[in-house]
Chains A and B, each alone.
Chain A
Amino acid sequence: MSKQALSDQILMSIDKSARYIGNEINSIKKNPEHVDIRFAICFPDVYEIGMSHLGIQILYDMFNKREDVYCERVYSPWVDLDKILRKENIKLFALESQDPVIDFDFLGITLQYEMCYTNILQILDLSQMPLYAKDRDESFPLVIGGGPCAYNPEPIADFFDLFYIGEGEVTYGALFELYKKHKKEGYDKKKFLLDASQIKGIYVPSLYQVTYKEDGTINSFKPKYENVPAIVEKQIVTDFSRSTYPTAPVVPFIKATQDRMMLEIARGCIRGCRFCQAGMIYRPNRQKDLCKLKEDALKIMENTGHEEVSLSSLSSSDYTYLGELVNFLIDEFKSKEVNISLPSLRIDNFSLDIMSHVQDVKKSSLTFAPEAGTQRLRNVINKGLTKEQILNGARSAFNGGWQKVKLYFMLGLPTETEEDMEGIATLAEDISEVYYEIPKDQRNGKCQITVSTSFFVPKPFTPFQWAPMLTSKDYVEKAKFVKSSIRSQKNQKSIKYSWHEADVTILEGVFARGDRKISKVIETAYKKGCIYDAWTDFYDNDKWLEAFDECGIDIGFYTTRKRELDEILPWDFIDIGVTRKFLKKEWENAQNEIVTPNCREKCSGCGAKKYNGGVCYENEA
């Protein structure tokens, strides 16, 4: 039997022990003695969430294809095991070898959402490593962060040795070669980090000095040494179709949140919604070659045996060959009873026709994301979706037999008025009226419209990065307003309403646009017991408020404060291709309610063309 880090007694006394045993289909076993670099790749949340993440599967596969690297997975132990590891003084281990993380060369942590920040400290702590990078000498693994939250790494910068800015496929090779060279020549962490900062896309926070003005805003953000680059450039895959992709991803024993094979059909988005960070940082939009997708789909099916295939992209409908791809999948997979799921589709006749082939119409619901209640506000956020399109989509859907509709909105968007909030209720009402246009004998009971609102959090590298937030109390008021508006509609019985927590939104807002001063708040909250903040059951707002208070940090500085356009923002040292000039222009367009066309309609000169690929060159090809 393979070596196990946990005793039978522990494995028998915890929930879902299969989270911790490794050995899954397609997991990689290597002899640690035969590699130069041991890399622990970590998703700082529970196994079922982490195993659903495509990015880790891509990097795991890519790293392990190298003979000199052994990459293993690490996830946050659930709270039951967390307690046991602390009590019994057991070091956190990687799944494959069950060896302690502390013995690895690298600990790579993916940063997918801000609310996982205390879990990062849990990972470091349970590994028995000092939380702060400055306290870790050569004997500890180098801790490197990547993923969307790395586009503003500052709130957690002090915990990390390095950050990788951009898509992981590009420069890890260079980093590994450099590390091997240093290991051979006698490894000195400081010297290594200095050299690593020369690799494009690598940010070493300890090599930069931040000074602040009296009002708390940044005065200067500069490299401490002459040859350290002042600007870190985002790395992206140019030839997306030929880029590495796992055709034998790990198949978990226990049911992961996303228990299906994923085909990444495109990266980036042509739409340019002004609130959306993914829409900016993954620019330019790149599509994967149809033939490559077909080949991969067959291989992944053969290697995993998954019973469902899902397409991954920011907007499936914008994939040029969607119809051909879906028809191929139906032909190949439907006969083998493999389900096909099509997320992020625009609802129109084309997509409804496709969906009627792959879904049980009566049971499934259709999702619209108007994001805002009125056309005016939808223009502000550049969500190019009109009321007419929504109602037509709903009409076609109802005629096609669907009767469940989900609607997603955001509250607290810049320039929002009461009319916009009321628009959420009236749009839901209008959709229900479209349903009741169908003669009574032809419809299937009531329609079910579910309205969900989340509170808008301004993110770095979006046109809304300068937008002030509101207070928790204001957000709750807004949700109440929408609720009463919905309750006063004629068909209100057909409409359900739910909204997200306001307190978590505030915290997310602080982390999203926070600076280096925030790290001690995160540490303080963690030491008070905050962990799994993304889980409503564990989120403890009082402890967070205490932590801010004890650290003397004013939440309002990060949330409700109005940022000036010339203020140095904590993430300004990163170059994502999309220029600050473009973001400013878009921020102005938002105030003026001017819609910007999508990348296929017209190039708006955002700056991402410099990457020499993707949609920017589609018409030239």
Chain B
Amino acid sequence: MKMRLKFEKTGIVKYIGHLDLMRFFQKAFRRTSIDISFTEGFNPHQIMSFAMPLGVGVESVGEYMDFSVNSPIDIKKSMDELNAVMCEGIMVTGIYPLIDNAKKAMSIIALADYIIKFDDEIIRNIDENTWDTLNDKFYKNALEISILKKTKKSEKIVDIKPMIKKFRAYTENDEKLLFLSLDTGSENNLNPRLVVEALYHYLNIEYNDFGYHIKRTELYAKKDNNYLTLGEYECSATL
């Protein structure tokens, strides 16, 4: 039976890399009574796949992971059991049973939401109104938002505006924040750092890679013309 698990990774555990997080969950499942399925072969491993690896240093309250169980599980009990063996900063916030032929989370992912919070004093000192005008000037009215994208093989200038589905610059409790909805997945994939870098360029401020914190807040799949959270997508109504 296919299941999807939603979890948070916040605070200091943001420094745990993707592979280590995977091993963390494998061990965590072994500390519960959940009857997780294994692959065949001489060295079987738990059937487990993550929707979208989270970069080291990035926090999230909307991560998803698929796993399979051999027999039906009690959702509430399983969540309690898992949360009893988590560490500070990692918390299971939902378990969703999926329909039998549900596709893997990593293959359906289309969009991710992010909140960016700035530490950078230069950004923090921008006045509220100027910050607010970015919504129009940097995003809405811009014909394109171009940025130099470096890969191992090449460098090219790309227009990232079509991949930014939502952009909101706002101020809250004296904090300068951005809300971003970005194309994510195998088709189009935009790293939030590139958006922040483009914003620095636009503001004519020297880019500071350590000047802000990224928190991912939700992951979505696309159904027809709507985006559904991964917890809603192909979730089985029964159980």
Contacts and interface: CB of A to CB of B under 8 A. Distances in A.
Contacts of B16: 18, 253-254
Contact of B27 (A18, A304, A360): A304
A127 to B, nearest CB: 22
A17 B15 contact: yes
Interface in A1-30: 1-2, 4, 8-9, 11-13, 16-18, 21, 23-25
Nearest to A302: B31
Contacts of B24: 253
A134 B88 CA distance: 41
B138 interface: no
Given A18-B17, A337-B45, A2 B11 contact: yes
B91 to A, nearest CB: 13
A4 B31 contact: no
A554 interface: no
Contacts, number: 77
B43 A360 contact: yes
Given A304-B27, A306-B27, A307-B27, A253 B12 contact: no
24 contacts: A1-B11, A2-B12, A8-B119, A11-B57, A12-B209, A12-B210, A16-B17, A17-B15, A18-B16, A18-B20, A21-B12, A23-B87, A23-B89, A24-B87, A25-B85, A251-B27, A253-B13, A254-B20, A259-B23, A303-B31, A304-B31, A305-B30, A305-B31, A307-B26
B38 interface: yes
The 5 closest A-B CB pairs, nearest first, are: A305-B30, A305-B27, A1-B11, A305-B31, A9-B210
Nearest to A360: B42
Contacts of B99: none
Contacts of B26: 305, 307
Nearest to B211: A9
Interface in A324-371: 336-339, 360
Given A2-B11, A254-B20, A337-B44, A8 B28 contact: no
Given A1-B12, A253-B20, A254-B20, A301 B30 contact: yes
A9 to B, nearest CB: 4
B158 interface: no
A259 B23 CA distance: 10
A500 interface: no
A528 interface: no
A338 B44 CA distance: 9
Interface residues of B, number: 33
Given A17-B56, A254-B20, A305 B13 contact: no
B29 interface: yes
A337 B24 CA distance: 16
B56 A25 contact: no
A600 interface: no
A393 to B, nearest CB: 23
Contacts of B57: 8, 11-12
Contacts of A23: 12-13, 87-89
A337 to B, nearest CB: 5
A9 B26 CA distance: 30
A97 B105 CA distance: 38
Contacts of A25: 27, 85, 87
A23 B24 CA distance: 13
A561 interface: no
Given A18-B15, A304-B27, A305-B27, 11 more contacts: A1-B12, A8-B210, A12-B210, A23-B13, A253-B16, A253-B20, A255-B19, A255-B23, A307-B26, A337-B44, A339-B43
A11 B44 CA distance: 34
B56 to A, nearest CB: 7
Contacts of B30: 301, 305-307, 336, 338
Contacts of B15: 11, 17-18, 21
B88 A2 contact: yes
Contacts of A16: 17
A336 B31 CA distance: 11
Contacts of A305: 26-31, 85
Interface of A: 1-2, 4, 8-9, 11-13, 16-18, 21, 23-25, 251, 253-255, 259, 301-307, 336-339, 360
A307 B23 CA distance: 10
B38 A337 contact: yes
A24 B28 CA distance: 12
Contacts of A336: 30
Interface in B58-95: 85, 87-89
Contacts of A17: 15, 56
A338 B15 CA distance: 28
Interface centre among A305, A337, A339 (most CB of B within 10 A): A305
Contacts of B89: 1, 23
Contacts of A18: 15-17, 20
Interface string B1-24: 000000000111101110110011
B12 A4 contact: yes
A21 B20 CA distance: 14
A309 B176 CA distance: 50
A337 B35 CA distance: 12
Contacts of A24: 87
A22 to B, nearest CB: 8
Nearest to B21: A253
A9 B120 CA distance: 12
Contacts of B23: 255, 259
A336 B36 CA distance: 10
B8 to A, nearest CB: 13
Interface string B32-55: 000000100011111000000000
B34 to A, nearest CB: 11
A18 B23 CA distance: 14
A298 to B, nearest CB: 12
Nearest to A306: B27
A73 to B, nearest CB: 16
Contacts of B29: 305
A38 B99 CA distance: 54
A30 to B, nearest CB: 15
A325 B56 CA distance: 41
A25 to B, nearest CB: 6
A8 B56 CA distance: 11
A173 B170 CA distance: 58
B4 to A, nearest CB: 21
Contacts of B12: 1-2, 4, 21, 23
A18 B46 CA distance: 24
B175 to A, nearest CB: 16
Nearest to A1: B11
A548 B128 CA distance: 65
A16 B19 CA distance: 12
A360 B46 CA distance: 18
Nearest to A363: B42
Contacts of A307: 26-27, 30
Contacts of B20: 18, 253-255
A219 B89 CA distance: 60
A17 B56 CA distance: 9
B37 to A, nearest CB: 10
Contacts of A254: 16-17, 20
Contacts of B88: 2, 23
A16 B88 CA distance: 19
A80 to B, nearest CB: 14
Contacts of A304: 27, 31
Nearest to A303: B31
Nearest to A20: B15
A306 B31 CA distance: 9
Contacts of B19: 255
A360 B43 CA distance: 8
A251 B26 CA distance: 12
